[in-house]
Amino acid sequence: MTRITKRPKAPDAAPPRVQLPAVIEAAPAPEHAHQNFDRAARAALARLSGGVSTHAFLQAWSDWAQHLARAPGRQMELAEHAQRNLVKLMAMAASPGSPPPFVPKAHDHRFDHAGWQETPFRLWQQGFLAVQDWWDHATEPTRGLSREDAERTRFLARQTLDVLSPSNFPPLNPEIVAETASTGGRNLAEGAAHFAHDAVKTLTGERDPPPEGYRIGTDLAATPGTVVFRNDLFELIQYAPQTPQVQARPILVVPAWIMKYYVLDLSPGNSMVRYLVGQGFTVFMISWCNPTAEQRDLSLEDYRKRGVMAALDAVTTIVPGRPVHAVGYCLGGTILAIAAATMARDGDDRLCSVTLMAAQVDFAEAGELLLFLDESQIAFLEDLMWELGYLDRPQMARAFAAIRAEDLIWTRAVQRYFLGREDVPTDLGVWLSDTTRMPALMHSQYLRGLFLENRLTAGRFAVEGRVIALKDLSVPLFVVGTEADHIAPWRSVYKTKLFTDCDLTFVLTRGGHNTGILSEPGRKGRHFRVSRRPAGALYVGPDAWLAQTQPVPGSWWPHWADWLTAQGDGLAAPPGTGAEDKGLAPLGPAPGTYVLQT
């Protein structure tokens, strides 16, 4: 942190200016060999633990246990709860045809098989759910126990129970028993082959090639376009027009760099890019590089200045005289908000609107990802990145999977290793497996400055030595949250309303972090809620907003396209591809080369 030393000043002297860093910098590598040895030892431990520090979880268990130990009333309450659950189980066992007293959670599909309703599997399932119910009650926040420790304890209890679920043990799982009987055990042999294959991949770090029908550039990321700009950080794709005339104001899309951009350009049927181009928009897409150890010093400011701003410079060169619709997804939306606030502060008026999709600007309620983040955890990751130069793919993948372990880890394991079933390829599944790395410096700055310190909405995030404020934004905002998002919870995304005063349209759509954004017209079961807050209107909290906003059937994409058109400037002839006379010559066809980096 910046250290300010007080000095006496003359009576008429102006107060000194304090230059604030954009984020807290990662601690420099210690010079003493013994301290470097400590970091190397911790990095080795981090590799073994998947990058997860045990300190916070041990502290959480200790905090929970100590508060429970000195609360005899709470102990009696938990004992009574256990007794009630036991009575329910006994009553169910005595009446086999009675309704089950416990039901799995909405996202838990481990007990979908009909065999779980038959004896004795029904009793094992209900016993597990009864224990799960007790632990959910036991880890509720109590007086004196910090909310973070209560949530961490619940998370750990859930992880432990997921390991011990009867669905994970072949003799206790009716689906495995039935499959083994019908195939003569072939499912177990095929599952063992799958396990051996996956173990080799994990140990070697190799990845399977995309399955047939899911090749990048042919089946996925296949919207026609051209790379018109490239630096060491990103390639800029300009998509070919599909209509005789286009909206005069172009769109620049800033995806997250934690994954590759083509989640927004998957198969032709659910490609957001293809939809926008088909609606007459000129679309530009940033395709980030997959950083290597040599790029360990890429910073958050690099992603803003040499990423977002360099792309904006290129777009306004190719389409001169037109302000730009800026669109940011996930982490790309966060850096876009930072860039837009900086532009507003500096009087840069090249944006006509900003769309933030599943993107957070305030991280006080950032969901279960916060369970992994405290000073100990970030220091642990910094030691790991100090050795490698980046945060590697497995660490991030495990963290995201652990949040929904019952579905993303254990259900898949049962299907693959005990039932012998191959993973069914999907375009989204192929994209999810195509993970990227995170450069050490940038990731440390992001975790400390945004997640841990929450500097952006606390008024302590500075760019080029001066603080920025989201309240400086005056262009219309279109903010999208998704109902089941466990990475950027919608109530956290909704808080963009709390820190801005401009015209803002908020959409809450059905689905998760990815599936809620991929909501092409015609998909069954889709709905969304939408409302507009005029500039300067009073704030309405998320729960009150939800209660007064009715769902609208269908996809939110057409509503967004109409909103973009309303912020536009009419139709015009399609712009040329690149601007060769201005140093932006076409460099090759989309999807470019960076998306293929492994």
**What positions carry a catalytic annotation?**
330
Instruction: Tell me if 321 sits within 8 A of 295, measured CB to CB.
Output: no
CA 284, CA 298: separation in Å to the nearest integer? 23
Closest CA to 442 of 257, 250, 197, 249: 257
SS3 assignment, position 46: helix
**Alpha helices (runs of H) in 165-299, residue ranges in sequence order:** 174-183, 186-204, 272-278
Q: Which residue has the tokens 């095929």?
A: 190
C-beta atoms surrounding 303 within 10 Å: 27
Q: Which residue, among 530, 480, 529, 469, has the nearest Cα to 502 in the 3D structure? A: 469
Q: Give the Cα separation of 152 and 508 in Å (integer).
A: 28
What is the dihedral angle through the alpha carbons of 564, 565, 569, 571, rounded to the nearest 10 degrees?
Answer: 130
Q: Where are the beta strands (DSSP E) in 61-155?
A: none
At residue 205, the 3 state secondary structure works out as coil
What contacts 382, CB < 8 A, 6 or more positions away? 26, 27, 440, 444
The residues facing 328 across adjacent strands are 254, 356
Q: Counting beta carbons within 10 angstroms of the beta carbon of residue 574, is it exposed (0 to 12), middle (13 to 18) or buried (19 or more)? A: middle
Distance CA 480, CA 483 (A): 10
CA 39, CA 50: separation in Å to the nearest integer?
Answer: 16
Backbone angles phi, psi at 471, to 5 degrees: -65, -15
Residue 275 tokens, joined: 């939809």
**Residue holding tokens 């996925």?**
220
Amino acid at 337: A
Conformation bin of residue 50: beta by default, left when phi > 0, alpha when psi is -120 to 50 = left
Q: What is the DSSP letter of 450?
A: I
